[in-house]
């Protein structure tokens, strides 16, 4: 098992999380409660966020032992290991083990590559047949605020409608266009993406796709609902 790394995607994820946490600081109350993270990766993006926000505390979970080892090294190198901790284990099992979400806000850049099965170049990146399995599971986990990446080719409308069903609004988001990388360019994956988009479950062109990092909230202190704007930014008609 190797550690996935994508500089463009990681930079966008980190910048977006930082902006959303800062903009909605009072409503999210993360200074009091901290946040939890599903999937640490190499930790560089969020370690930089923790560095930029001195009041922020993050407790992260990752199922990949190599990722946890590398993440802890990167966090220590930035001198924020007192405020950014990483645990090896399944996020959802841990949350259940303590009787529910301990804090109000969770952040995640989850695997979102869609494919018929996980027999792809890097199985850790498989997000289910439609690519949004982990996002949907996260939205059903009881957190009041979810900051997560949403890819345009991973059935984003189903993600938004599921969020609405569970009482969430899209407070805000940042979207960016990304080129297809080696994992999303794998022929098996690209053909599956083409079929999903043709069937109305996403958008991609010949060169790339869109990714947004969105704040889903059901906290009254966090205003606004930009769900339709999010879908339009991901090139979906609403």
- Report the CATH number of the 7-232 domain: 3.40.50.150
d(CA 138, CA 148): 9
d(CA 62, CA 65): 8
- Annotate 156-204 with three-state secondary structure: HHHHHHHHHHCCCEEEEEEEEEEECCCCCCCHHHHHHHHHHHHCCCCCC
Helix (H) / strand (E) element for 28: namely helix 25-28
Q: ∠ at Cα 30 (80, 74), nearest 5°? A: 20
Question: Mean per-residue pLDDT for 41-59?
Answer: 96
What tens digit of pLDDT does each residue of 67-76 get?
999 999 999 9
Provide the mean pLDDT of the chain.
Answer: 93
What span, in angstroms and rounded, lies between the C-alpha atoms of 22 and 10?
Answer: 18
Section 172-181 average pLDDT? 96
Instruction: Give the residue, 201 or 93, on which the prediction is more confident.
Output: 201
Q: Is the pLDDT of residue 26 over 70?
A: yes
* pLDDT score for 2: 39
Six token digits for residue 144: 């009041």
What is the Cα–Cα distance from 161 to 109, expressed in whole angstroms? 19
Quote the DSSP letter at residue 23. H
For residue 236, name the pLDDT band (cuts at 50, 70, 90).
confident
Domain definitions of the chain by residue range = 7-232
End-to-end CA distance of the chain: 39
Question: Is pLDDT at 199 greater than 50 in this prediction?
Answer: yes
The whole-number pLDDT of residue 207 equals: 92
Least confident of 1-5, 14-18, 141-145, 208-212: 1-5
Given pLDDT bands bounded at 50, 70 and 90, which one contains residue 176?
A: very high
């Amino acid at each position: 098992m190797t550690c996935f790394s994508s500089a463009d995607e990681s930079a966008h994820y980190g910048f977006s999380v930082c902006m959303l946490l800062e903009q909605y600081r009072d409503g999210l109350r993360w200074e009091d409660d901290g946040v939890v993270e599903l999937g640490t990766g190499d930790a560089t993006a969020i370690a930089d966020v923790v560095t930029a926000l001195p009041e922020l505390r993050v407790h992260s979970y990752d199922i990949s032992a190599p990722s946890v080892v590398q993440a802890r090294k990167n966090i220590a190198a930035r001198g924020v290991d007192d405020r950014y901790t990483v645990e090896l284990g399944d996020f959802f099992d841990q949350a259940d083990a303590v009787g529910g979400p301990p804090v109000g806000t969770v952040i995640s850049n989850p695997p979102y590559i869609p494919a018929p099965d996980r027999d792809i170049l890097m199985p850790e990146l498989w997000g289910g047949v439609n690519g949004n399995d982990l996002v949907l599971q996260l939205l059903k986990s009881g957190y009041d605020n979810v900051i997560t990446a949403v890819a345009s080719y991973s059935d984003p409308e189903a993600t938004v409608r599921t969020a609405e069903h569970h009482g969430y609004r899209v407070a805000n988001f940042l979207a960016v266009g990304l080129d297809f990388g080696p994992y999303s360019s794998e022929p098996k994956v690209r053909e599956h993406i083409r079929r999903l988009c043709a069937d109305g479950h996403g958008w991609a062109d010949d060169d790339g796709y869109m990714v947004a990092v969105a704040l889903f909230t059901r906290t009254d202190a966090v205003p606004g609902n930009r769900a339709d704007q999010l879908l339009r930014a991901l090139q979906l008609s609403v």
